[in-house]
Amino acid sequence: MSEQRPTLAVIAAEAGVSQATVSKVINGRSDVAPSTRERIEELLRARNYFPPGRQGRARRSGLVDLVIGGLDSAWAVEILRGVEAECARRSVGTVVSLVPPGEAAPSGWPALPALHQSDGVILVTASVTQAQRAQVERTGAALVVIDPIDLPGGGVPSIGATNWAGGLAATEHLLELGHRRIAAIGGRREMLCSQARVDGYRAALERAGIEVDRDLVRFGDFQHEGGFRCARELLALPEPPTAVFAGSDQQAMGVYEAARQAGLSIPRDLSVVGFDDLPMCDWLSPPLTTVRQPLEEMGRVAARTLFQLLEGQPLVSPRVELSTELKVRLSTAPPRP
């Protein structure tokens, strides 16, 4: 048994097939005869082709687990769309597993690779403990996290967006319009992306020489309810804000409803900026100014990164952040005199 990893050409020659066929087996493609697949997988194991953590386990399922907190929002659907598109391009199936929303470290997901004989796990908006990393590694599956609650460590790749830059751009837009009393509604405090967006908001105010008012910074849950609750509190202040940067489009919708109930018109009485650029933004009344993060592309990049791990390819960086972009629509305007 050779100590060095053999090339595809060596495996292909011993199996009596082409290098392309060996590559299909390694990548979990379904268009290989079962007997040929079994022969190639036996050679791959015998020749120590797979790196530590995957030895003895060829990609036998052609399945990837996507573990997510729910599919009741357009945000989650866009992520799923990207993951599924990249997996389908490689003839790999996507198994969607739902965990209770808000559960940062669902206890059941480490068992999923063994349950499905999955090749890898893409985990969305969660934290990863050292014990969970070790448990997934023992199954031989690869692991990638999208929008982690905190940086997973241990070399686990994570995919996100330039959240700080997005928060900065949203707040600078409101400052340029003339607003000076600007509120921010983040998501859950412990979430990395939420902290970064609010930090970008603070940085924009500080650059403009405006002291950050603690009363104007609130934390919701990235859902409609959190945006509504926080906006009602902000609008009830003795000196309410003239503009709100909501940390997500769904929270911005909650701000819309709170403004409506308070008899305020957007943007005449209150300017609102969201974050995500979900498809619904164009259909709100008025259409929502928001920070676009490329959710579908984040899903695609997460899947590509997973396949790089499975193929033993080196990663340029364990952390990838895709660019955000401000999309100005009709929910922002200069403040009333």
The whole-number pLDDT of residue 104 equals 43
Three-state DSSP state, 158: strand
Report, as ranges of residue numbers, the positions in the chain whose pLDDT lies below 50. 1-2, 52-57, 102-106
The whole-number pLDDT of residue 157 equals 94
The whole-number pLDDT of residue 163 equals 97
Three-state DSSP state, 329: coil
Q: Which is it for strands 289-292 and 142-146: parallel, antiparallel or unpaired?
A: unpaired
Three-state DSSP state, 88: helix
Q: How many angstroms separate the CA atoms of 329 and 114, rounded?
A: 47
The whole-number pLDDT of residue 46 equals 80
Q: How many angstroms separate the CA atoms of 44 and 26, rounded?
A: 9
Tell me the pLDDT tens digit for each residue of 129-184: 777 777 777 777 889 999 988 888 778 999 999 999 999 999 999 999 999 999 99
The whole-number pLDDT of residue 115 equals 62
Extract the tokens encoding 325. Answer: 């972009």
**The amino acid at 137:** E
Q: What is the pTM of this model?
A: 0.80
Q: Locate tokens 């902290």: which residue? A: 195
**The amino acid at 193:** C
Cα distances (angstroms) measured from residue 274 to each of 99, 225, 324: 26, 15, 12
The whole-number pLDDT of residue 61 equals 72
The whole-number pLDDT of residue 107 equals 55
Q: Locate tokens 């997901």: which residue? A: 109
**The amino acid at 168:** L
The whole-number pLDDT of residue 53 equals 43
The whole-number pLDDT of residue 5 equals 63
Q: Locate tokens 């300017």: which residue? A: 271
